[in-house]
Amino acid sequence: MSKEQTKPSESLVQDLLAERRELKVAVERLKLELADAQSSGGGPDPRVRELQDEIERLRYQLASSRAETTQLREERDELRRGIERALAQLTEDAESK
C-alpha cells in the first residue's frame, strides 16, 4: 500500500486523537474550576451550571470523536484488506500467465 493511500485516513485519525487529548485536558480543567468554584465562597457560584453544561458538551464531543475514530479505523482496515486481496489476485493472475 502506498503512503499516499494511507496518509489521509491516518492523518485524520491522528487529528481526531489529538482533538480527543485536548478535550480530555479541557474536561479536567473544567472539573478543577468547578471544584474550586464549589469550595470557595458561601453561596453557589453562578458559573457552576455553565461549567457543568460545558463538561457535558465536551463529553458528548469526546464520545463523538471516539466513535468517528473507530469508524475511520474500521474503514481504513477494510480498504487495506481490499487492496491486499486485489494485490494477491493480481499476483495470482501474473503467475498463472
Domains and CATH numbers, the chain: 3-96 (1.10.287)
pTM of the model: 0.50
Dist. CA 80–CA 65, nearest whole Å: 22
**Closest to 27 (Cα-Cα) out of 52, 64, 47, 48:** 52
Residue 47, pLDDT > 50, answer yes
Q: Is 43 helix (H, G, I), strand (E, B) or coil?
A: coil
Counting residues of the chain whose pLDDT is more than 70, the rounded percentage is 87
Residue 8, pLDDT > 70, answer no
Position of cell 486485489?
Answer: 86
pLDDT tens digits, 15-37: 889 999 999 999 999 999 888 87
